[in-house]
């Protein structure tokens, strides 16, 4: 392992220590209100989650500041260049949203087919009961949709799963860590598999939660936590690949939101062989399109208009 690059770049040891510190800080700060600040227990679950939202936001800002302090001395950069390093860009924004989302949905082909089959089944059952489509029901559809949107937007868990967690985790574990690791001299394929390890460390705190929820059974807690850690490693590798290939932080964020919404992919369903066929076909399509859909040329004006540091590019 090379400790001193000699050209002003980040050493591997510094990159590793910084990433470890950011991962641990992301978890530790969640418990700071009660352990460090000694604040009284929250009066409600909503207040508890809001505290965690604030802590996660602070963690993201501190991680971005730390990575900036390490990266800025490397070159005569302007501070504005850091937004490109972090993948915070507005150009090619729709490509960064639509293409990764479409690619990610292929992994959930089985889940989507199962949901479609359930909808068709419920519709047939509705018709077999001799019910028609009432005009009043059709008229109430817009109002029902509006009510659903309002109730969803007011849910604290929705904000956690689809806003706070995706944005803060991708900023810390992709936007901040990946440039450090790449500038530290790690190869791209090493970063894709190394970065999720830090991502998994940030989820180890769930082990205590699982332990308390499963009647303090250590075996069950380790089984549930192990399943979650395995899933986070796989998703973390995929999100890292999206960030490196597209140079857009939006790409892993939309994939993160979609995966949180869908949960684990459905591999099979009893009596519904079409679900398994769809899953296999979706995975084949996903693997086939993975690199073409994430081609950097799709997300940048010119592929020769970049600045590279040990294999890491920011596009202008």
Q: Are 232 and 226 in contact (CB under 8 A)?
A: no
Distance CA 236, CA 233 (A): 5
Q: Which of 288, 250, 285, 311 is nearest to 107 (CA)?
A: 285
Active site residue 81: no
Out of 78, 81, 92, 169, the active site residue is 169
Integer Cα distance of 292 and 148 in angstroms: 37
Catalytic residue at 203?
yes
Q: Which of 81, 92, 170, 203 is catalytic?
A: 203
Q: Give me the long-range contacts of 157-161 (CB less than 8 A, separation at least 24).
A: 157/49, 159/49, 159/53, 160/49, 160/52, 160/53, 161/260, 161/261
Tell me the backbone φ, ψ of residue 188, rounded to 5 degrees: -60, -45
197: left (phi over 0), alpha (psi -120 to 50) or beta: alpha
3-state secondary structure of 53: helix
**Active-site residues: which are they?**
169, 203
């Amino acid at each position: 392992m090379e400790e001193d690059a000699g050209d002003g770049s980040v050493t591997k040891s510094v990159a590793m220590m910084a990433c470890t510190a950011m991962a641990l800080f992301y978890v530790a700060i969640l418990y700071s209100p009660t352990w460090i600040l000694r604040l009284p227990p929250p009066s409600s679950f909503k207040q508890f989650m809001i505290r965690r939202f604030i802590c996660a936001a602070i963690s993201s800002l501190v991680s971005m500041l730390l990575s900036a302090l390490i990266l800025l001395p490397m070159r005569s950069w302007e501070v504005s260049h850091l937004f490109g390093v972090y993948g915070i860009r507005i150009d090619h924004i729709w490509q960064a949203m639509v293409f990764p989302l479409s690619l990610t949905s292929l992994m959930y082909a089985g889940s989507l087919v199962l949901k479609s089959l359930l909808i068709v089944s419920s519709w047939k059952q509705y018709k077999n009961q001799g019910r028609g489509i009432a005009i009043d029901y059709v008229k109430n559809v817009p109002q029902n949709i509006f009510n659903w949107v309002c109730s969803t937007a007011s849910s604290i868990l929705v904000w956690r799963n689809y806003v706070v967690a995706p944005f803060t985790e991708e900023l810390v574990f992709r936007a901040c860590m990946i440039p450090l690791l790449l500038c530290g001299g790690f190869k791209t394929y090493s970063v894709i598999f190394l970065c999720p390890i830090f991502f998994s460390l940030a989820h180890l705190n769930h082990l205590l939660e699982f332990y308390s929820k499963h009647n303090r059974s250590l075996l069950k807690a380790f089984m549930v936590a192990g399943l979650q850690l395995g899933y986070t490693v796989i998703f973390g590798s995929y999100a890292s690949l999206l960030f490196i290939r597209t140079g857009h932080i939006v790409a892993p964020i939309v994939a993160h939101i979609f995966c949180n919404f869908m949960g684990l992919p459905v591999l099979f369903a009893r009596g519904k062989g079409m679900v398994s066929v769809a899953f296999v076909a979706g995975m084949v399509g996903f693997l086939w399109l993975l690199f073409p859909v994430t081609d950097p040329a799709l997300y940048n004006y010119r592929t020769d208009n970049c600045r590279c540091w040990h294999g890491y590019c920011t596009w202008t």
